[in-house]
Amino acid sequence: MRRLDDVIPVPVSAVPADGHFAITPATQVSADPGLAWVAAFLGLPAAPSGGAIQFALGLDGPDESYELDISDSSVRVRAATPAGAFAAVQTLRQLISEGTLPAGHIADRPRFAYRGVMLDVARHFFTVDEVKAFIDAIVAFKINHLHLHLTDDQGWRLEIPGWPRLTEVSGASGTGVGGEGPGFYTRDHYTEIVSYAAERFVTIVPEIDMPGHVNAAQFAYPALTADGNPVPQRTDTEVGYSSLVADSETTYAFVEDVIREVAALTPGPFLHIGGDEAQATTPDDYRTFMSRVLPLVGKYGKRAVGWHEMANVELPETAVPQFWRTEPADDGTARAVAAGSQVIMSPADRTYLDMKYEPGFRLGLDWAGCVELDRAYDWDPADRLPGVPEHALLGVEAALWSETLRSRADVETMTFPRLPAIAEIAWSPREARDWPSFRRRVAAYAPRWRAEGTAYHPSPTVDWE
């Protein structure tokens, strides 16, 4: 039988009691109005009222907070919002073992509002069904944002009206790293992903990378280059060689069309504009570009997110730098925080899921070092950068770049078990985290991965038996 705290992320409080609740064929679930569809994710029969498992609103607490009371005869779920009830479902699903739930009381709430993972569909495309499967896998660990890296030098993956060659040419056969990752989302496909995610309380954060990482756009439309001449298609993994033209009105007509369309398709509050590795853009041109583009994001009702190089220019207070490098400090990010910005923390040497687990691992890169499970767990975002204290953090995001990935199994192998470690950092109180406890809990979760056919790396830091 599971222990009451056998949950990832570990709850704020778990007080065990004697006994257990047995789930039988007669067990039914009832819920307050507006919660029945959330309770249905538990996978048990619904009752209009009086179910042995009951979901109710009315808890006073942050948006995703919830409480569980489990006894021999009943399970009571109280939540602040439907999102909190969904978080409670994930906890219950993890606790069910051999048809029973351990008795006791759990009180839980998130440390950070933003708990995300980025999936790179530009270097290698992943289908709508593959993205849906990824969403189903990540919500088990209370991840609530999925950042989709939709464009890069090797591919453009979202249909944009008025610019059909972006996907006809740069989403076609032969795109992606090594030419092995073709495909794109129509507007309907993207809307399907957004809706599927929203039903699971996941916010989609779309990224259109600029002013660098734009060779796919320029290959499709040479008018976006400095001289108007065609550029070759690129399927290698080099970075830093492409740039939109900062003094061209064609650039801003293109960018506004893209931002307007992506904003219209995306109900969430964020739109990621990249901004990283723009070595082919001079500092003056970078400032000029951002001074034109950042207001466009706000014009269409979104909050700009960008890789932390964006913080080298003056940002609106609503803009969110995402720190991704390995250096121990970053002056631009600290200045942005001093001016009122919040930060998403994604240091590559801890949260980049595309880093190899160990030297010679068959997938991944190693420019930020190897990241085994213990390394992904043993850090804290509030300690990562001088000038970026806890109150300045919007949250934490893991990132999975796809240069070496070719399949859903590859995605899962690089994601699990590291994403659960990062999810615990983002959700659980710092004082509740404990590496020996996490090792035990992630080992206890592995049978579910095996039963579901989910690939994972059997890290040598864990006793999987």
Report which secondary-structure segment, H or E, holds 398.
strand 393-400
Terminal-residue alpha carbon distance, the chain: 16
User: Looking at 277, 372, 390, 452, which residue is catalytic?
Assistant: 277
The full length of the chain comes to 465
**Is residue 277 among the annotated active site residues?**
yes
> Which residue type occupies 84?
G
Cβ contact 189:167 at 8 Å: no
Instruction: Measure the CA–CA gap between 69 and 247, rounded to whole angstroms.
Output: 62
Neighbours of 328 (CB within 10 A): 9
> DSSP string of 74-142?
-EEEEESSHHHHHHHHHHHHHH-BTTEEEEEEEEE--S-SEEEEEEE-SSS---HHHHHHHHHHHGGGT
Tell me the β-bridge partners of 152. Answer: 155
Provide φ and ψ at 107, rounded to 5°. Answer: -120, 130
* 43 contact partners, CB below 8 Å, separation of at least 6: none
> Known catalytic residues?
277
